[in-house]
């Protein structure tokens, strides 16, 4: 596993290693295999470089899945569940265990996902409460804030977030049972025949083709979460309150768990913590926030250029404003019939007045007269 670089071969090798648990016939041998695996991961975790982390994350996920599959093969016996949870708590979750933070965080994150994949269709609410009981005890006892945060977010808040999907699955199961008990074979045949007659062929198909070829397939839904675990929210809230109300529970843990208990109690009464917001309203709200942020980030030069454009466009549209500006520029004492001076460009040069040069015979006060004749005579002598 350490030397394998190809993703597909990594996955195949991970399945092979994880399925070794089924090679042992007794429960003690299987638990010894799992104990050895988790102890090895805890010991070697700090020596794994970041480029190899993903495949070992995948290996831990596969081993957890196969250990839950072994429980399912034994019929979810209560004694077997308790032994497995005690082993996982001792090797991973317990504060005295040698598990690094990365192993603990990943295990907490994937536990409910893998449990739902293996046993969501078979497990009852009481059995699911047994599976999360170690997390309730560790959340009340731990002094590590990271472990408390991961358990609260990865276990309890995940249960709260998946509550609407769990209720939908339960309602669908009840409807299916009612339909199976009340439906008759003749009515089902008539419904199927009517659907085949009035069904429109999809685009890209021709008449006379096999109906299976032209059958429309439902589109994949991105928000589809699959099967969800069923929980008795009142029982979970009571169990959390039992461990959180003990005197040995730290105040930070108690405060954090009481918030989760309130949410679970609301769910037990039929109140959901978050109201559903329509998609259009949510997009409009996001768009407005982005526009406001963009305006704040605009530099002053762009804002001035935008205002300058507006000022240039305004006089072009209104010719009367030009005459008012020219009058203001000329001043109140200027003669409107007099020719106006041009500003800028070539017209400015033409508007300059030439300076008058003094004439040869004219006397300028305070200046000596140039003696040009004497200077010429001196130059000729030289």
What is the tens place of the pLDDT at every residue in 215-273?
444 444 444 456 789 999 999 999 999 999 999 999 999 999 999 999 999 988 887 65
Q: How many CB atoms lie within 10 A of CB 136?
A: 21
Contact 100, 42 (CB under 8 A): yes
- Cα-based distances in Å from 150 to 72, 142, 158, 228: 27, 12, 11, 20
Contact 178, 170 (CB under 8 A): no
CA of residue 219 relative to chain centroid, distance: 23
Contact 78, 130 (CB under 8 A): yes
For position 227, what pLDDT does the model report?
76
Cα separation, 29 vs 27, whole angstroms: 5
Contact 60, 106 (CB under 8 A): yes
Stretches where the chain sits below pLDDT 70 are 166-226, 272-382
Strand, helix or coil at 334?
coil
Strand, helix or coil at 272?
coil
Residue 226 in tokens: 């699959």
For position 171, what pLDDT does the model report?
63
Q: How many CB atoms lie within 10 A of CB 246?
A: 10
> Among residues 265, 266, 274, which one has the least CA distance to residue 241?
265
Which tens digit of pLDDT belongs to each residue from 56-92?
999 999 999 999 999 999 999 999 999 999 999 999 9
For position 317, what pLDDT does the model report?
45
Residue 232 in tokens: 């008795």
For position 263, what pLDDT does the model report?
92
CA angle 297, 303, 305 (to 5 degrees): 140
Which residue, chain included where needed, has tokens 């250990």?
Answer: 67
Mean pLDDT of the chain: 75
């Amino acid at each position: 596993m350490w030397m394998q670089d190809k993703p597909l071969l990594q996955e195949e090798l991970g399945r092979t290693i994880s399925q070794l648990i089924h090679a042992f016939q007794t429960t003690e041998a299987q638990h010894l295999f799992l104990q050895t695996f988790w102890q090895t991961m805890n010991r070697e975790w700090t020596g794994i470089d970041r480029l190899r982390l993903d495949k070992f994350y995948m290996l831990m996920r596969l081993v957890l899945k196969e250990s839950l599959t072994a429980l399912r093969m034994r019929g979810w016996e209560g004694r077997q569940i308790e032994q497995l949870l005690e082993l996982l708590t001792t090797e991973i979750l317990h504060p005295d265990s040698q598990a690094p933070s990365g192993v603990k965080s990943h295990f907490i994150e994937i536990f409910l996902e893998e449990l739902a994949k293996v046993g969501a269709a078979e497990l009852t609410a009481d059995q699911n409460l047994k599976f999360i009981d170690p997390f309730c005890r560790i959340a009340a006892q731990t002094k590590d804030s990271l472990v408390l945060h991961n358990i609260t977010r990865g276990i309890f808040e995940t249960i709260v977030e998946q509550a609407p999907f769990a209720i939908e699955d339960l309602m669908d199961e009840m409807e299916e049972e009612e339909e199976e008990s009340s439906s008759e074979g003749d009515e089902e045949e008539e419904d199927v025949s009517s659907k085949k007659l009035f069904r429109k062929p999809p685009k890209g198909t021709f008449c006379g083709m096999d109906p299976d070829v032209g059958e429309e397939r439902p589109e994949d839904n991105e928000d589809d979460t699959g099967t969800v675990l069923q929980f008795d929210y009142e029982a979970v809230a009571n169990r959390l309150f039992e461990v959180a109300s003990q005197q040995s529970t730290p105040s930070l843990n108690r405060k954090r768990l009481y918030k989760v208990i309130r949410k679970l109690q609301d769910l037990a009464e039929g109140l959901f913590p978050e109201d559903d917001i329509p998609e259009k309203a949510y997009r409009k709200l996001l768009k407005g926030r982005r526009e406001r942020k963009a305006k704040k980030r605009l530099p002053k030069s762009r804002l001035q250029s935008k205002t300058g454009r507006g000022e240039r466009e305004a006089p072009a549209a209104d010719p009367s404003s030009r005459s008012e500006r020219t009058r203001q520029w000329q001043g109140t004492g200027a003669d409107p019939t007099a020719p106006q001076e041009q500003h800028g460009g070539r017209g400015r040069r033409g508007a300059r007045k030439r300076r008058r040069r003094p004439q040869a015979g004219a006397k300028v006060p305070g200046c000596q007269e140039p003696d040009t004749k004497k200077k010429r005579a001196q130059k000729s002598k030289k």
